[in-house]
Amino acid sequence: MAEATANGLGQHALHATHAQDGATAAVAPAEVHQEHPIKLYLVVWAWLFILSTCSYLVDYFGIHGYLRWSLILIFMMLKAGLIVAVFMHMAWERLAMMYAIILPPILVLVFVTMMVFEADYTLLTRIAFFGPGP
């Protein structure tokens, strides 16, 4: 679809010439069906197994501290990305749809930041009034 990248005033002219050709008059079907080779799903499935095993091994070998947390987060994001992009077909959806669904959850991070400060404050207040933990 070359005309998708064209913009501005040129659009109308482009569209008109194509319509005359008749070759690319129909741009796309109204609703796109998601048909992909089975092999793709099997590969993603295998990767999800590997990533889950990796995140389990983080706990099994008792890795601690920042390495543990960063590994957990990396494996989590990779798994989530594979599920959303391939299994839920988000990778093939229109950009307007992608942003409408994926941007709002990312904004939850603002809420997370707020609650981290709030929880730290609660902890400090508790230590100030009740002393350090038992």
Looking only at residues 58 through 97 of this chain, which bind another protein when binding is defined by CB under 8 A?
58-60, 62, 68-69, 72-73, 75-76, 79-80, 83-84, 86-89, 93-97
Report CA-CA distances (Å) from 63 to 47, 53, 56.
22, 14, 11
- In the complex, least distance from residue 73 CB atom to another protein, rounded to whole angstroms: 7
Q: Which of residues 30-59 bind another protein (CB under 8 A)?
A: 30-36, 38, 41-42, 44-45, 48-49, 52, 55-56, 58-59
- In the complex, least distance from residue 16 CB atom to another protein, rounded to whole angstroms: 11
Contacts of 68 (CB under 8 A, 6+ apart): 58
d(CA 72, CA 80): 12
For residue 102, the one-letter residue type is I
User: Under the criterion CB under 8 A, does residue 113 sit at the interface with another protein?
Assistant: no
